[in-house]
Amino acid sequence: MDFCQNYPLPDWTSGFEPRTTLVSQLPYEEYTGPMEQPASDSNNYRLIRLPNNLVVMCVQDVGAKTSAAALSVNVGSNMDPVELQGLAHLLEHMLPRGTERFPDVDEYQSYISHHTGNCNASTNFSRTRFYFGIPSDAFEGALDRFASFLASPLFSRDCIDRELGTVDSEFKGFLNSDSWRLQHLESKLSDQNHPHSKFMPGNMDSLQQSAKDHGLDLQEELIKFYNKYYSSDIMKLIVCGNHALDQLVEWTVSKFSAIKSKGDNVQRDLGHPVSAEFLGKVIYYETVDDKDVMIIRFPIPSVSAMYRSYPFYYINHFIAHKGPGSITSYLKRQGWATGMVVSTNFGKDDGFCEFSITIKVTQNGLKHYEDILRVVFAYVRMLVSGGPQEWVHHELSSQLQLRFDSKKKSKAVSQALSYMYLIFNKYVAPEHILSKGSLCDTFDYDAILHCLGFINPGNFRVFIGATKHLSIDCLEVEPYFGIAYHVDSLSADLLRDLDSGGSSFDGLCLLEKPEPVPAIVATKSNSTPGHDAPALEHTLLKLNDNFEVWYRNDGLRRKAIGKISLSINVPTIGSSPQNYIMGLLYCDMLKSKLINDLNSAEHAGLKFGVDAAESTIEVHVEGSSNKLVGLLMTIVEEAKAFKVTDAQLSASKDHHARLLADMDNMTPTELCTMNRECIAKPNQWHYKIVASELEKLALDEMQAHVDSLFGATFFKMCMAGKFYEEEALDAADNVQYILNSSPALGHKAAKPRCFNIKPGYYLHQSQMPNGDCVNSAVECTIYCGLQTDDTEAAMLLILQEYVRANLIAQLRAKQQLGLKASVSLLTSLGDKYALCLQIEGESNPMFMAMHINKILYEMQEQLVEMTDEEFEDRMESFACIFEDQNAGIEGGKHKGRVHSIVSALGDCKQQIDIVQSITRCQLVAFWNKYFLPSAASEYTRIDVQVWSAKAWKPTESEFENYSAKTLALFGCLHSEGFNALDIGKVDEFITASIAAHKELPENSEDAESLIAELKSASLPASGAKYTEGEGAKHGLYTGIALKLAIKDHKTFGNYAPIGRTDFAAIGMAQTPDGIWLVTDYQKFQATQQAYGLE
């Protein structure tokens, strides 16, 4: 089946010359041949090979302020022992936990966090990847630690249980992901002797319990796996920085040559896991999301060697197109589908790939799945009989070349990871490393026909997913994800019909050579001096009552790719639940019509989108600069004249009804965000309310809304690319002429609608609607920083990075609780910014909130105690990060001009100047002003908690009567199996312990005895019912919660004095900590002052 064997392996020998490093005189080899790179690429590259056979790409990005490294090992779960599935994933977590040179288990993470960097890793079937990004002045130290854990890890036994908990938590986070579920169902329904059938993520059962069952020592097995497979011969490394190439080479050779060469011990080319016995099947499976889907899978051999002819790119283009005559267009007309995606899994170069057609089917489409198959194969027959068309290949090749030559510069980490994906294909010649997958310059007629031969009725299987199958009982269950499924053979009559080609369908036809999209060529005006020079920042060209226009010319960068973004402020959008859903329906129907009508634009490689936002309609077009203005005008004309049909409305309503129903399955963090927005913003509507409005919406109401949509508007437009100023000004005038709308007075500098929340600490809590989700979440939003004060905005940027580093270091490195954390800035909250901290995991939200309080409390101490030298080092790191965050920002930035905190500070240089001028005293004063409850007179905080339905959740009475630390600790005890303890006695124990124990001993029998004393003291008179919990992890939660409650009790103050409003009159209760419970957010909103436009 593998026809890549017909392609010779490239020469990776003759082009390399012996070299020695300049300083340490260490040997290595350097590639001296040519290297194909984008015309716009200003980076310098050096491809080298170390004595241990490790291949390294060194990338010098002179203008970058941050550096990065990424290393990939060509082994993953494919080599997991059958008895320890998930071992490769556990090894990925264990490697950074201490090395011979850096034995501290937190050294790598702490170093990265201290220097405001970031790091991560991932494991899949055949790859394990590690990467980090960090300010350039700290790069060498990070490389030291990075190379050390790859060359000499310690595998500390003390870390294994903690990392097991993290692996298990990651697995549980995937349980409600339909993509992960389907992936493992496919593995289950494939050759069980093939490595692809293994359970990739691993969990407690497959690792800890299985090790016990088989008498295996996990530490020894980890060491065995590392010693056998982690060989420099199957590693590839990317290092990116602003340092000289000689310096990057020096560091790389001196630090990574210590990784041992052990050969390639990985079994490869084992054939395809989907053999003939698994084909010709229809697999019904139950989904979590309310999305009916039909997936046609064709097993194909590896096509890695065909990266210059790219035959499946050609095939994908035909089958996936959405214009007249397409499969998608036909299925939509029949009411069988709402969309289709075609993909080829090119990522597996171990002898097999997969070609997939994923169809979003309707309920009616589920009944007609056999007819859908007939349509698909009828189109494929036409594609085969028509033969490969060279003009199509030429168009595709031209588009790819244009995008390759116009490639935008990205941040160091992104560059490192993108090069990592390119360098691993064994068929790629050294000169093609930078262009692999980006160019398609060889038209191979025979290869296209050969690949089409795999898309045949004898070489596929079908997966049909739905929340419930009406006529099928899914009685079989996949063991790890619990997916209910049923397998049937496709009917013999259907297969004969597909094979004979007996079906034909009116309206189904191949792509025809389209009329070219007209190019608009502007003439340069002599009256505009210097406007052909490339600009780093956008320029405001015009502002009046109807619109504002921003412009940036990239002419001298040779970026023929441009982007135009148009944001039309429409006062009625989002003003009510009905208007909100009508805005979504309008954009959805308009997009569908444009996709069908603008086939020539799609074929020309132009991209466009139309979306409804909070109070705007967002239009964007991207592609060849000289064709974008014409495309934009076509879209605006269609938007203005749009007429709704009953069929369009019915299909769109069905689509959005499913999307709204799926919101029951959103993640706990997503639900936190939605609930916070419902509290803080007047025009945010709960999805249940929106769903009820959708159900009763009629055609005449929808058309009336569309007809009145553009009566009064104000729009903002930004053009970035190979344009002239005159083009931008003319385009704005033309948009205004087409819309023919009156000015939306007051919307020129409109702020999104929100409430100026009165000072105080507020808490909203709810339960996950999805009863199967094991995770809970908390989101803490603290209002801080005036949007009119550039210095306060800059300080908030600094504190965001500072808090993020501390929070992630605390949860990931020091405690390994399996909690996911993030920190972000909110910019649409009236005249203030807000810092938003989120944590998600298996523990209870009160426990997670304790960590947030601890981090916030410790931040103030760290800022006060920091030396001037430490502060200056941090500021340099922050300045590097902010400067790199501006790199590569293109046409969409004009929206940031209004809404983004970063661009609110002006251009990049101005941002850096403000950041570097800030003193430590200023930062401490800012922190005390907004974040320290005892000092902040306007302290304003909203916590939103979402509790897993599987976890114990306090009643409203318990919230009112017990402190946060008591509730957090009691929740941890409950998760550990003590589900009949007396919460009152837990509270009494904490109160007594605070007085008796100034500190909770760590890692000692005294600490364990105190935890045992807590459990014993909290038993009710009748005795506690104890059931075996989840062991070490929840025991760890209890110990940490007890420590936070006793040792760090000072971090939990009484917040009652900070609020000057008594909300008891509207039925709100207050906790013993002085936190107001928001149970009815509409009543709460009625007490707040609205900000922004009606």
Phi/psi of residue 782, nearest 5 degrees: -115, 120
Instruction: Give 502 or 823, the one with higher predicted confidence.
Output: 823
CA atoms lying within 13 Å on the CB side of residue 364: 11
Q: In 10 A of CB 900, how many CB atoms?
A: 14
List, as one string, the DSSP characters of 239-279.
EEESS-HHHHHHHHHHHHTTSPP----S------SS-GGGS
pLDDT at 751: 56
Read off the pLDDT of residues 271-329 as tens digits, 9 standing for 90 and up: 899 999 999 999 999 999 888 999 999 999 888 888 888 899 999 999 998 888 999 99
pLDDT at 902: 43
pLDDT at 1035: 61
- Cα–Cα distance measured from residue 172 to residue 166, given in angstroms and rounded to the nearest whole number: 10
Question: Is the pLDDT at 519 greater than 90, yes or no?
Answer: no
Q: Is the distance from CB of 785 to CB of 933 less than 8 angstroms?
A: no
Question: Is the pLDDT at 530 greater than 70, yes or no?
Answer: no
Give residue 8's identity as a one-letter amino acid code.
Answer: P
Q: Which residue has the tokens 């260490």?
A: 26
Give the predicted TM-score (pTM) of the model.
0.83
Q: Is the distance from CB of 974 to CB of 1030 less than 8 angstroms?
A: no
Lowest mean pLDDT among 594-598, 816-820, 825-829, 1029-1033: 1029-1033
Beta strands, E only, 977-1091: 1076-1077, 1089-1091
**Predicted confidence band at 938 (pLDDT cuts at 50, 70, 90)?**
confident
Joined together, the tokens standing for residue 283 give 């697999």
Q: In 10 A of CB 1015, how many CB atoms?
A: 17
List, as one string, the DSSP characters of 843-856.
S-HHHHHHHHHHHH
Q: What is the 3-state secondary structure (H, E, C) of 620-675?
A: EEEEEHHHHHHHHHHHHHHHHHCCCCHHHHHHHHHHHHHHHHHHHHCCHHHHHHHH
Question: Is the pLDDT at 268 greater than 90, yes or no?
Answer: no
Question: Is the pLDDT at 904 greater than 60, yes or no?
Answer: no
Read off the pLDDT of residues 996-1019 as tens digits, 9 standing for 90 and up: 764 555 544 455 666 777 777 766
Q: Phi-psi bin for 238: left (phi > 0), alpha (psi -120 to 50), beta?
A: beta
Question: Is the pLDDT at 893 greater than 80, yes or no?
Answer: no
**Predicted confidence band at 750 (pLDDT cuts at 50, 70, 90)?**
low
Which one of 253-257, 559-563, 623-627, 897-901 scores highest in mean pLDDT?
253-257
Question: Is the pLDDT at 889 greater than 70, yes or no?
Answer: no
Question: Is the pLDDT at 721 greater than 90, yes or no?
Answer: no
- Cα–Cα distance measured from residue 360 to residue 295, given in angstroms and rounded to the nearest whole number: 9
Q: Which residue has the tokens 């919230």?
A: 959
Instruction: Give 899 or 602, the one with higher predicted confidence.
Output: 602
- Cα–Cα distance measured from residue 274 to residue 278, given in angstroms and rounded to the nearest whole number: 6
pLDDT at 558: 43
Q: In 10 A of CB 501, how many CB atoms?
A: 15
Read off the pLDDT of residues 610-663 as tens digits, 9 standing for 90 and up: 999 878 899 999 988 888 999 999 999 999 999 999 989 998 998 899 889 889
Q: Supply the mean pLDDT for the chain.
A: 85
> 208-215 long-range CB contacts below 8 Å, 24 or more apart?
208/161, 208/164, 210/83, 210/84, 210/85, 211/83, 211/84, 214/83
Q: Where are the alpha helices (H) located in 32-177, listed in sequence order? A: 87-94, 107-114, 139-151, 157-174
Q: In 10 A of CB 1016, how many CB atoms?
A: 11
Domains of the chain: 4-256 (3.30.830.10), 276-388+443-500 (3.30.830.10), 539-743 (3.30.830.10), 762-951+1057-1088 (3.30.830.10), 952-1053 (no CATH)
For residues 207-222, give the mean pLDDT: 97
**Predicted confidence band at 891 (pLDDT cuts at 50, 70, 90)?**
very low
- Cα–Cα distance measured from residue 1054 to residue 1069, given in angstroms and rounded to the nearest whole number: 15
Q: If we measure between CA atoms, which residue out of 366, 379, 295, 300 comes closest to residue 334?
A: 366
Phi/psi of residue 480, nearest 5 degrees: -95, -45
Joined together, the tokens standing for residue 297 give 């899978």
Question: Is the pLDDT at 508 greater than 70, yes or no?
Answer: yes
